[in-house]
Structure 1
Amino acid sequence: MQRSSMLLFGVGSFMILTRMLPKDEFGIWSLFLSITTLFEVARNGLIQNALIKYLNSNDHPDHPSITAASVYLNIILTLIGLVAIYFLADLSAMLFETDKIKPLFYGYMLISVILAPYSQFEFLQQANFRFQGIFVSTFVRQGLFFVGVVTAFLVGWKITLTYLILGQTAALTVATVVSYFFTRDYLALDYRYRAEWIWKLFHYGKYVFGTNISGKIFSSMDQILLGSMISTSSVADYNAAVRITMLVDVPTSSAAQVVFPQSARIANQNDKHALRLLYEKSVAVILLFLIPFVIGIFLFPKLIVYIIAGGAYYETIDILRVTILYSVLVPFTRQSGTIWDSMGLPRLSFYFTLVIALLNIALNYWFILQFGVIGAAYGTFASYFIGFVVTLVVMRRMLGVRLSEILRYVGYYFRYSITLVSERINSKRISKTL
């Protein structure tokens, strides 16, 4: 529900912005979001998984010290991020040859400060298997921003980039207050300086931090290269395809968020058989949801583009046919990273993601030179396919994972779903007859 609300509000805002912003400004907004998301995934990587792992593998008396250590790391990372954002404003203006992006980064400095408590609340709730508060705060954050965009559209206000950054700040502030009330019971902190816990969290999280940064570079570099090599308008066309592809990413993201706490507990028991089953079945369930959407979007791309982005973005149709295909490969790599992190192997996730990210930069650069805008889609697809093959090889050697078993589970869950639906239909018919 959390991921779905993010997606629905995000797509809703996207549908309005593509119709109200000039293509170059929408491209600037897309580039800004791609770059600043790096800071959010960096915070998540350094703190989130380490906090969840140690809270679930240590006794309750240690929890206040572990939580306090994560807060200290959060503050340090925020301060470093503020300095980086300040310098990124000028660098981005030079790279994309536009000064319009600079005020967005200055506004994001305030957002980064507010994100510190917001993210901390979310991490604590996830570690304690309390997802209701995460859903509500996310709903409020994304929903308020969406309401602001809709209001401007209906009233006839001119939507500017400044208006968008102010809307994000206001929505995040309210969501942080809401999230606090769901997290109060888990905010017991030992404020004494516990260097051992800070270093434990840091040394575990540093590889996840690197993995998340590499992964975000992997997913954003195509747009960044397009913006610097071609134009910000080309980013708008490409981003439309990426946004539509994100429609089918909800099951993957949701499963990764829920599977990690479970896999951390299983890994703590050193049960490789259970980890193999968890990986194979979670990937199979995700594919069961993904495949129908992928087929539908692949067969009717023009209709989908018109509904979501409008007629001005028909140039994105060919790009969409490519980007939608690699979404099927994402669950394999995403879930393997979750399993590796839970097994205490964040270094493996980091090196794997880093290598694929570097490969993605090289492939995107070459394909863009050869084919233009659609070359970014070709390069990203090639990178995902290589990562998919390597993932299956590594997972088979580590846990005995087999692609045939995953596909078998997909078929099994499909048949089970059909049987379940038919039984419910029959039971309703019988009840009506009686």
Structure 2
Amino acid sequence: MNIARSSVKLSVAHGGKAIITFGGIAFFANQLSPGELGVFFLFEALVGVLMIPADLGLRGAAEKRISEGDSPSEMLTTAVLLKALPLFVIVSGVLLFGSYINDYAGESVAVLLAVAIVGQELYQFGLQIVSAELRVGETAILRLAHKLIWFVVGYFFLASGFGVTGLIYGLLVGYAIPFVWAMIKRSTAFGRPSMEHVHSLTAYSRYNFVSAVSGYFYSWMDVLIIGWFLTSAHVGAYEVAWRVTGVVIIGSSAIAQTIFPQVSRWDAEEAIERIERIIPQAVTPSLIIAIPAFFGTLLFSREILTFVFDAEYATASLVLVVLMAEKILQAVHVITGRSLKATNHPELAARAAVVAITTNLILNVVLIQQYGLIGAAIATVVSFGINTAMCVNYLSRYLTVRIPWRELAWVVVSSVGMTLVLLGTESVAPVDSIFSLFGVIGFGAVVYAGFVLLSPSLRLKIAQSIRMVKSDGAAGEPVRGDD
């Protein structure tokens, strides 16, 4: 598998997804009130949290075991059978307590929620099976199709008078079509299940389940608690800020998804040196966008929310700054956390997750009541910082983790230089419209790139990455000058 090429494919797909999501939310924010849009975000939050017990970590376990190459067909069938029971229980519970769910969400969404949980599980399972076959790059189009279908179908239903429910219909169709496509693209056939494979999957999934809890709770716990203590309008404003920050970790997520099956295979082959070389190669690209994005948000958070969405969402401008700082931590965590699980230490990732979940829950309950939306953002940063630090520490016990401090220092210097240039620019040409906002963002990107390219090591790394994308060799092989 060419890791560089697959990472680029996924980055392009994630970039396309981000553009569609960003544009879609911006469009829908101008068609719906923050309260109405908040209902959709609460629906997504419920799907995200209920997916945890519906999956029990089995999707990640299936990807791990199939990627190892030992009895993949039997592993696939066993995983499907194991997943059926918890999924049935959760869906039945949603239908049984539908009236309470409808009251909480503010719309009659319980039946749609049950369908969405099944759809999301099938969609994610299909992607992870193809990824486990070391064909991660081929999932790029499926991920992009999911968001594109959501926007097109959602727009159609919204225009037809379905209101916020139309966005939910778009979500459901967006799950179904890529799942069918993934099943057609997979090469792993169904085999005969066995108790041996049950033990293998559950031994991994019980720890992967806890890590999954961390991921989904991290993504949705604050939204659910905001919806409980505050209003759906607050949910809408907070989640819009969150979606803006999601754009900056496109590359990080793509790299993490790409290297997981390859690191898993190298771990099975005891090729430890290869794993130790690929981690520092992944860290710099993960942070090269997140760091300048934080500095840019310090300057233009209110303008972004006002001109791209609506003035009503500008109340979350400080939230946007705090959450953008958190994305720097997330860019590191997606690499180290998945590497920890890929090297067959899900129990340590689970331990870090338990600490982070507990911290996040306590801080959200306390700080949201005390400080509102900014309290939720602070809770997220603190808890995720703890999770990231613990994962880095655990990984360093088994691998020599080399952090490219010199390169990262230059990225920070370049970001500060960009900020100073933009401050000077704004004093001459104030940002007073969406066109001037995008113009100054584009100018800032050019200035930042110019500063970055002044570093010989970063120029070399960028050139090597481009060559690896064009070649058929596997990225992640030794790169001269990295050590």
**Shared fold by TM > 0.5?**
yes
For 2:350 and 2:463, how far apart are their aligned partners in 1?
45
Identify the match of residue 138 of structure 1 among 143, 167, 180. 143
Q: Percent identity of the aligned residues? A: 20
Which residue is 1:27 aligned to? 38
1:165 to 2:168 alignment: yes
SS of residue paired to 1:270 = coil
Deviation at 1:136, TM superposition (A): 2.2
For the residue of structure 2 that corresponds to 1:48, the secondary structure is: helix
Aligned to 1:70: 79
Q: In the alignment, which residue of structure 1 is the partner of 2:90?
A: 81
Match of 1:119 in 2: 124
Give the aligned residue type for 2:31. Answer: M
1:38 match = 49
User: Is 136-145 or 195-204 further displaced after alignment?
Assistant: 136-145
Matches within 5 A, 1:320-399: 320-399=320-399
CA offsets 1:205-249 (integer angstroms, 9 cap, x no match): 121122112321123221211111122211111111111111112
Q: Cα 1:124–1:397, aligned 2, differ >3 Å: closer, same or farther? A: closer
* Matched residue, 1:51: 62
Q: Which residue of 1 aligns with 2:197?
A: 197
* Mapped partners of 1:319, 1:232: distance in 2: 16
Partner AA of 1:337 in structure 2: G
Question: Normalising by the residue count of structure 1, what TM-score does the alignment of the two structures yield?
Answer: 0.85
| Runs of 5+ unmatched residues, structure 1 | 424-434
Contact 1:223/1:239, CA 8 A, preserved across alignment: yes
Matched with 1:314 is 314
Aligned equivalent of 2:22: 11
For 1:271 and 1:409, how far apart are their aligned partners in 2? 26
Quickly say closer, same or farther: Cα 1:114–1:33, change in 2 above 3 A.
Answer: closer
Alpha-carbon separation, structure 2, partners of 1:163 and 1:418: 47
Indicate the residue corresponding to 1:426 in structure 2. Answer: none
- Offset of residue 421 of structure 1: 8.2
Q: CA 1:173–1:308 in structure 2 vs 1: closer, same or farther (change >3 Å)? A: same
Q: What is the identity, as a one-letter code, of the residue corresponding to 2:382?
A: A
Q: For the Cα contact (< 8 Å) 2:52–2:213, is it kept in 1?
A: yes
- Measure, in 2, the Cα distance between the counterparts of 1:146 and 1:231: 25
Aligned equivalent of 1:408? 406
* Cα distance in 1, alignment partners of residues 321 and 124 from structure 2: 35
Using the TM superposition, name which of 166-175 and 308-317 deviates more.
166-175
- Counterpart CA distance in 2 for 1:374 and 1:82 is 34
Instruction: Give yes or no for contact 1:301–1:317 (8 Å, CA) kept in 2.
Output: yes
Residue 197 of structure 2 aligns to a residue in which SS?
helix
**CA spacing shift, 1:390–1:202, aligned 2, 3 Å:** closer
Q: 1:113 Cα deviation (Å)?
A: 3.4
The alpha carbon displacement at 1:310 in A equals 1.8
CA distance in 2, matches of 1:159, 1:22: 14
Q: CA RMSD in A?
A: 2.7
What does the per-residue CA deviation read over 1:61-88, in whole Å, with 9 as the maximum and x for residues that have no partner?
x222112112212323321231233255
Q: Give the C-alpha shift of residue 53 in structure 1.
A: 2.5
1:242 is paired with a residue whose SS is helix
Counterpart of 1:32, as a letter, is F
Structure 2, unpaired ranges of 5+ = 1-11, 412-451, 465-483
- Relative to the length of structure 2, the TM-score reads 0.77
With 358-367 and 80-89 compared, the bigger mean Cα shift is at 80-89
SS in 2 for 1:202: helix
SS for the counterpart of 1:300 is helix
Query: Could you tell me how far 1:151 is from its partner in structure 2?
Result: 4.2
Q: Provide closer, same or farther for how the CA distance between residues 316 and 258 of structure 1 changes in structure 2, counting only shifts above 3 A.
A: same
**In terms of mean alpha carbon deviation, does 247-256 or 169-178 score higher?**
169-178
8 Å CA contact 1:281–1:409 kept in 2: the answer is: no
The residue type equivalent to 1:174 in the other structure is I
- Aligned-pair CA distance for 1:170: 2.6
Matches of 1:248 and 1:89, distance apart in 2? 36
Instruction: Please point out which of 162, 180, 188 is paired with 2:183.
Output: 180
Q: Using the alignment, how far apart are the partners of 2:313 and 2:341 within structure 1?
A: 39
Pair 1:170–1:400, CA change in 2 (3 A):
closer
Contact in 2 for aligned 1:218/1:361 (Cα 8 Å)? no
2:110 to 102, 105, 109: 105
Instruction: Specify whether residues 149 and 182 from structure 1 end up closer, same or farther in structure 2 by C-alpha distance, changes over 3 A only.
Output: same
Return closer, same or farther for 1:227/1:115 CA change in 2, 3 Å cut-off. Answer: closer
Q: What SS does the corresponding residue of 2:241 show, helix, strand or coil?
A: helix
Match of 1:148 in 2: 153
Moved more, 297-306 or 9-18: 297-306
Q: Give deviations 1:124-155, integer Å, cap 9, x for gaps.
A: 210112235422222222112211344466xx
